Structure 1
Amino acid sequence: MRQLLRFLYGIGLFAAGILHFTRTAGFQSIIPRQIPFKKEIVWISGVIEMLFGGLLLLNKAVTAVSRLLPTFFVAVFPANIYMAVKNLPLNGKQLPKPLLWGRLPLQWLLIRGARKLDQ
């Protein structure tokens, strides 16, 4: 079960990280306007996601990733809240409001699951 969870997180994180570089503008748009250096934040978070995803896929530093990943998910949570409050599209696609708000509890499930990656 842990191997499957690591694989799913690894693929998901690595793919999301790549999207930070191929769809930078979409990710920039969900960062609250008061926060500067949006492009740099998107790129840094993309690198972090690719790094964590790659480590999980290679089954390396799993304990470190499982400890750091929840903090990363908490750090990006404000962007998800901002997106729901402002009803912003995700990479050019407008999602229904219930789906935007439904993503918020999903973030907490991702945090809980990340803690189980090395158990």
Structure 2
Amino acid sequence: MKTIMRYILAAVFGIAGVAHFTRTEGFTNIVPHYLPFKDFIVKASGVAELIISFFLLIKRPGNFFKKIINSFLMLVLPANIYMAQKSLPLGSIDVPKPLLWARVPLQFVLIKIVNKL
């Protein structure tokens, strides 16, 4: 079961990572207004997600890598909160506000899953 979950997470991070480069504008819009270098942040987080995806595909993460993944999930949390506060669309999709807020605790669910791998 852990292997299946690891592959699912690898797919999620991989798809999100690619989307940072194919749908850059949608991700740029959810970077909080107080942060500079939005385009760099979007591309850097996309690279981080692709790296996480790659390493999840090749082996089970050790404690150090789990901490890196969890730190990344916490670093992107402000974007999810900002998106929910401002009711920003997910790319070209208008998402109901309750679902936008549901993404916030999802970060903590992902952390729990990562810790169980």
Which interval holds the TM-score relative to the shorter structure?
over 0.9
1:43 counterpart residue number: 43
What is the TM-score with the length of structure 1 in the denominator? 0.93
1:108 paired with 2:108, answer yes
1:82 counterpart residue number: 82
| Shift, 1:67, TM fit | 2.0
RMSD of aligned Cα (Å) = 1.0
2:69 counterpart residue number: 69
CA distance in 2, matches of 1:23, 1:56: 23
Q: Which runs of 5+ in 2 are unaligned?
A: none
Which letter maps to 1:23? R
Task: Confirm or deny: 8 A CA contact 1:7 1:57 kept in the other structure.
Answer: yes
| Shift, 1:44, TM fit | 0.5
| 1:89-118 residue CA offsets vs partner (Å, 9 max, x unmatched) | 00011101111111111111001111122x
Task: Confirm or deny: 8 A CA contact 1:66 1:116 kept in the other structure.
Answer: no
CA distance in 1, matches of 2:4, 2:15: 16
CA distance in 1, matches of 2:34, 2:81: 14
CA distance in 1, matches of 2:66, 2:5: 11
Task: Confirm or deny: 8 A CA contact 1:30 1:83 kept in the other structure.
Answer: yes
CA distance in 2, matches of 1:5, 1:39: 31
- Matched residue count: 116
List structure 1 segments (4+ residues) > 3 angstroms apart after TM superposition.
Answer: none
Q: Which runs of 5+ in 1 are unaligned?
A: none
CA distance in 2, matches of 1:65, 1:90: 28
